Amino acid sequence: MGQTVFIPRELDANEPRVAASPDTVKRLAALGFDVVVETGAGTASRIPDEEFAKAGAVIGKAGDAAKADVVLKVRRPTDAELNGYKSGAAVIAIMDPYGNDAAVAALAKAGVTAFSMEFMPRITRAQPMDVLSSQANLAGYQAVVDAAAEYDRALPMMMTAAGTVPAAKAFIMGVGVAGLQAIATARRLGAVVTATDVRPAVKEQVQSLGAKFLAVEDEEFKAAETAGGYAKEMSKEYQAKQAALTAEHIAKQDIVITTALIPGRPAPKLVSAAMVASMKPGSVIVDLAVERGGNVEGAVPGKVVTTANGVKIVGHLNVPGRVAASASLLYARNLFAFLETLVDKTTKTLAIKRDDELVKATMLTDAGKVVHPAFAKAAAEPPKGQHLEPAAIPAKTMVADAAPKKAAAKKTATGKSAAKPKGIA
């Protein structure tokens, strides 16, 4: 009998995703694993038990985790789940360890070798394992769908005999994976799209999708990117100029989608209450960072808030989970791609190489200890060769808060006292 992989049903009521698909079950079996899927694990992702069984899995119960050598999950296991795992089992999931020291300690105490998939290094070899990208891509898509559902008008321009319906104006703040997909989706739906980011490299990407790029493109902007492609914190002077430009722009928008989420930090504030108050009744803001404090002042996790001036602020939780059937298929492939690297192809058994760069980047606990240098207090410095994500920019303002004073904004962006920044949309 081979080693066992167990896929449980997620206990969080807000988590409809599952960590396997019929396709990955077949692939796991081909690697030499016996696969056990807890009954009902895929129901919310439109994968009935019968589909897993046809792919070669045994449909089991939660208690089967006690025999598993590998546990594949979406979210970090609870203490109750950990009590049912055998010591030494490899547990692979989105661990969300920042600010959850007690939960990380519990993983170590349980004796499991825990891997945090969101720490996967962004290198060519690891692209098929990049859960942040696969899930953010769907979040960007769903953000536009949610905005369209709340917006009580058509998005594309429609020319009819009775008159013309103007196209909706959509503004995407933050042009990472989620932002790029939001731009593409909004464009497909017919909206007029603009986008902003403090990294100059994304301007060409924005324009390639048919959107206009909005930024104060001075000398500081041209240097506003780290070697790893991450945003640098901008000076207060730049923040003020960008804030004025952004505030004026937001007042004219029908839909605003914010995507700035920094691992391990509260989300940076991008949209102030004054900016929200400047928008037209019926406008919609979707905050994709609401789980980390939100980019938008007034956003409430899990709620759609309507402000006094009739603006809807959408704060849905677990946005990728709102398209669980698609999200689960991608996430399952991410997990399989990583687990495959941990298997000895000759013996068809789990053989974790602790000096592998993927293992070093993602291993959170091992042999009863917290081993990731970002969380192990004993590790004053990361081991030589250890991959660490670049330090995130401080949780201040990427696009600084500013009251939408149109006159002041206009003067800052285009007035005679300052040269007009290049490339402003």
Q: Reduce the DSSP state of residue 220 to 3 states and report it.
A: helix
Q: Which two tokens stand for residue 178?
A: 């989620």
Is 12 tagged catalytic? no
Strand order in the sheet with 255-258: 212-213, 192-196, 169-173, 255-258, 284-287, 312-314, 304-306
The Cα–Cα gap between 157 and 178 comes to 25
Eight-class DSSP state of 304? E
Q: Of residues 3, 17, 21, 130, which has the active-site annotation? A: 130
Residue type, 61: K
Choosing from 127, 153, 354, 356, the catalytic residue is 127
Instruction: Say if CB 111 and CB 87 are below 8 A apart.
Output: yes
Enumerate long-range contacts of 342-347, CB under 8 Å, 24 or more apart. Answer: 342/90, 343/31, 343/32
Kind of pairing, strands 192-196 and 343-344? unpaired
- DSSP 8-state symbol, 355: T
Separation of alpha carbons 267 and 285, rounded Å? 16
Spatial distance between the Cα atoms of 191 and 185, rounded to a whole number of angstroms: 9
Catalytic residue status for 122: yes
Determine which one of 46, 49, 187, 230 is catalytic: 230
| 3-state helix, strand and coil shares in percent for the chain, rounded to the nearest 5 | 35, 15, 45
Map tokens 């692939």 to a residue: 27
Distance in angstroms (rounded) separating the CA atoms of residues 247 and 276: 9
How far CA 135 is from CA of 141, 196, 227, 325, 327, in Å, comes to 10, 21, 24, 12, 6
One of 49, 96, 133, 386 is an active-site residue; which one? 133
Residues 79 and 157: their CA atoms lie apart, in Å, by 53
Cα–Cα nearest to 151, from 178, 197, 190: 190
**Tokens (6 digits) for 10:** 């997620």
Tokens of 223: 């240097």
Query: Is 344 assigned a catalytic role?
Result: no
Question: Can 141 be counted among the known catalytic residues?
Answer: no
| Residue pointed to by tokens 């053989």 | 351
Catalytic residue among 9, 46, 122, 187: 122
In single-letter form, the type of residue at position 196 comes to T
130 is catalytic: yes
| 3-state secondary structure at position 276 | helix
Q: Where in the sequence numbering do the catalytic residues fall? A: 122, 127, 130, 133, 230
